[in-house]
Chain A
Amino acid sequence: MPTGTLHSPSTQPGWRETSSLAGQGLTIGVLAMQGAFVEHVRILATLGATVREVRLPRDLDGLDGIILPGGESTTIGKLLEAWGVLAPLRSAIGRGLPCWGTCAGAILMAREVLDTLPGQPLLSVMDISVRRNAFGRQVQSFETMIMIDGMDSGLPFPAMFIRAPKIEAVGPDARAIAVLEDGTIVAARQGNWLATSFHPELTSDTRFHAWFLDIARANRGQNSGLTLASTAMP
């Protein structure tokens, strides 16, 4: 019997060493209206990023990237609108702020959302069409291994689908980066933006977060005219 570390990340076989420098010097926001935002905060912190929970418009200042977590998209959308975060967040992302939405977050990012409430407040920034709860109810929720196009190393990634949405269509500006065996699109990328139907934050595998931090760093390097990205990253 191991000494009381049954669930600590470093003892789980799926855990892989990621550079603890991936986030150093970056300030990443995690939208904290409702949902599994603490899981993202913890992983980003272990990767060395400065993390800020975003609940109000002022929390958006000076971010190098933002993660929109899983949760209930209807709840998160209403809170975004009620506290005046929806419009400034939309324009920040529109100006190229690196953004990654997991599950509910991907729904908020999509240009088109199917099977939702009429009038649900959405960011509608990314050229994808998403169907809510497309795999069914909770008893149909599942986990599997998938390949992610462009991430690294060619090793499969553990993907958890919880009342998950499907990406039904990808427009000309975005492209699919992960599909299930039946062809269902479950992740897409458009420039600095990532959308995933699944939840890397619920696993102990930090590669997806490290990848997003690489995107954020490259974007900052570009914008500031510094060569930081090329010197700091392996």
Chain B
Amino acid sequence: MTTITDRPVVSEASANGAAGAHDRSESTWAVKRGLAQMLKGGVIMDVVTSDQAKIAEDAGACAVMALERVPADIRKSGGVARMSDPDLIRAICESVTIPVMAKARIGHFVEAQVLEALGVDYIDESEVLTPADDEFHIDKHGFKVPFVCGCRDLGEALRRVGEGAAMIRTKGEAGTGNVVEAVRHARAVLGEIRKIRSLPVEELMTEAKRLGAPYELIREIHSTGVLPVVNFAAGGIATPSDAALMMQIGVDGVFVGSGIFKSENPAKMARAIVMATTHFRDAAIVAEVSRGVGEPMRGLEVASMPAGERLASRGW
């Protein structure tokens, strides 16, 4: 009953029912994945101070991402972007009652160990920070805290799940306020899932080779038709309509980074994006909540951006 690694599922506990009754198993695969399931249909917002975290919580965020600079500012200021100051993360954890996520650099497993020690609820191994390892991602199975990772296509998503990510998000192109890359990545993931569904079993190994994805996970998707973990959109979502667009394309929820606190009226924009994410199929409601939210963040054209400035190409 295991796939590519030894990850417990709840059914194994129940199989041992009578004998193992009342033993507590912490940080199982099901428990790690379970928190992401609780976040579905919600909006996870980037915050850089306790005050912003409270604004996000008041607006109805289902979780916050604690970081030192939002992606738009990381883009502007350049330099090496690292894990946030532990004091900042602690302060944000103490200021809200909703889950708190924080970012570690790709491959920087010690930053991840520090974040776990600080008690964050989820770690984002994120391309928004400067990668610490340009070849290897973190072995996420080794942690008690669950991880979310970015992807551009299904192969990348399943490589991260293979390493232990309990939640996936599109990379999009963070800090641009331009949703085009998030759309591209979500469509790539969902389209490849539809394709796998339609393949005969004997073609799956070749498909796994083509995607660079673990074969067992390809087999699983062939049978279930869905990713084995929750799948959010991220990277460029700046308006209520952007959020509803991603939901209608088929993601489970949205991350909004710079789009809230770089807009003219963050509290209003945050609330409107929360509303649009719940009522994403109801255009009359999306129209209603989009009124009077002020200017969204100023966007960047991704197509004319030099390759070196694209964050999505970090990681593999």
- State how many angstroms separate the Cβ of B25 from the closest Cβ of chain A: 5
Stretch at the interface among A35-43, A88-96, A189-197, A210-218: A35-43
In the assembled complex, B88 has its CB within 8 A of some CB on chain A: no
Interface size of A as a range: 35 or more
Query: Is the beta-carbon distance between A145 and B60 smaller than 8 angstroms?
Result: no
Residues of A within 8 A of B10 (CB): 14, 143, 158, 160, 202-204
A136 to B, closest residue via Cβ: B119
Cα A34 to Cα B27 with chains together (Å): 23
Q: A4-B201, A143-B28, A155-B17 are in contact. Are A12 and B60 (CB under 8 A)?
A: no
Q: A7-B224, A139-B144, A163-B121 are in contact. Are A74 and B40 (CB under 8 A)?
A: no
Residues of B within 8 A of A8 (CB): 223-224
In the assembled complex, B155 has its CB within 8 A of some CB on chain A: no
Residues of B within 8 A of A38 (CB): 40
Cα A19 to Cα B192 with chains together (Å): 36
B8 to A, closest residue via Cβ: A143
- State how many angstroms separate the Cβ of A83 from the closest Cβ of chain B: 8
Query: Is the beta-carbon distance between B26 and A142 smaller than 8 angstroms?
Result: yes
Stretch at the interface among B181-189, B237-245, B273-281, B294-302: B273-281
Query: Is the beta-carbon distance between A15 and B11 smaller than 8 angstroms?
Result: yes
In the assembled complex, A79 has its CB within 8 A of some CB on chain B: yes
Residues of A within 8 A of B58 (CB): 117
A32 to B, closest residue via Cβ: B41
Interface size of B as a range: 35 or more
Residues of A within 8 A of B27 (CB): 139, 141-142
In the assembled complex, B255 has its CB within 8 A of some CB on chain A: no
Residues of B within 8 A of A173 (CB): none
- State how many angstroms separate the Cβ of B208 from the closest Cβ of chain A: 12
Query: Is the beta-carbon distance between A71 and B41 smaller than 8 angstroms?
Result: yes
Query: Is the beta-carbon distance between B35 and A162 smaller than 8 angstroms?
Result: yes
Cα A146 to Cα B22 with chains together (Å): 6
Query: Is the beta-carbon distance between A138 and B278 smaller than 8 angstroms?
Result: no
In the assembled complex, B222 has its CB within 8 A of some CB on chain A: yes
In the assembled complex, B57 has its CB within 8 A of some CB on chain A: yes
Cα A179 to Cα B82 with chains together (Å): 44
Query: Is the beta-carbon distance between B97 and A133 smaller than 8 angstroms?
Result: yes
| A121-148 residues at the B interface, CB under 8 angstroms | 132-133, 137-147
Query: Is the beta-carbon distance between A138 and B11 smaller than 8 angstroms?
Result: no
In the assembled complex, B61 has its CB within 8 A of some CB on chain A: yes
Which residue of B26, B116, B145, B222 has the most chain A CB atoms within 10 A of its CB atom?
Answer: B26
Q: A3-B201, A139-B116 are in contact. Are A79 and B274 (CB under 8 A)?
A: yes
- State how many angstroms separate the Cβ of A24 from the closest Cβ of chain B: 26
Query: Is the beta-carbon distance between B15 and A156 smaller than 8 angstroms?
Result: no
Cα A34 to Cα B41 with chains together (Å): 5
Residues of A within 8 A of B279 (CB): 55
Contact with B along A148-192 (1 / 0, CB 8 A): 000000011010111100000000000000001100000000000
B18 to A, closest residue via Cβ: A156
In the assembled complex, B150 has its CB within 8 A of some CB on chain A: no
Cα A199 to Cα B18 with chains together (Å): 20
Contact with A along B14-30 (1 / 0, CB 8 A): 11011011111111101
Contact of A37 among B31, B41, B275 (CB under 8 A): B41
Cα A35 to Cα B40 with chains together (Å): 5
In the assembled complex, A61 has its CB within 8 A of some CB on chain B: no
Q: A74-B97, A132-B97, A156-B21 are in contact. Are A162 and B14 (CB under 8 A)?
A: no
In the assembled complex, A52 has its CB within 8 A of some CB on chain B: no
In the assembled complex, A18 has its CB within 8 A of some CB on chain B: no
Residues of B within 8 A of A222 (CB): none
In the assembled complex, B248 has its CB within 8 A of some CB on chain A: no
| B203-242 residues at the A interface, CB under 8 angstroms | 204, 216, 219-220, 222-224, 228
Cα A81 to Cα B262 with chains together (Å): 27
In the assembled complex, A13 has its CB within 8 A of some CB on chain B: yes
Residues of A within 8 A of B17 (CB): 145, 155-156
14 chain-A/chain-B pairs, Cβ below 8 angstroms: A4-B223, A7-B223, A14-B14, A15-B11, A34-B40, A35-B41, A36-B38, A71-B39, A138-B121, A139-B145, A145-B17, A145-B21, A145-B22, A160-B30
Task: Give the B-binding residues of A (Cβ under 8 A).
Answer: 3-8, 12-15, 32-39, 55, 70-72, 74-75, 78-79, 82, 103-104, 115-117, 132-133, 137-147, 155-156, 158, 160-163, 180-181, 199, 202-205
Enumerate the 7 nearest inter-chain pairs by beta-carbon distance, A residue then B residue, closest first: A14-B14, A14-B11, A12-B11, A13-B15, A138-B121, A4-B219, A4-B223
Task: Give the A-binding residues of B (Cβ under 8 A).
Answer: 1, 3, 9-15, 17-18, 20-28, 30-31, 34-35, 37-42, 57-58, 60-63, 93, 97-99, 116, 119-122, 144-146, 201, 204, 216, 219-220, 222-224, 228, 274-275, 277-279, 282
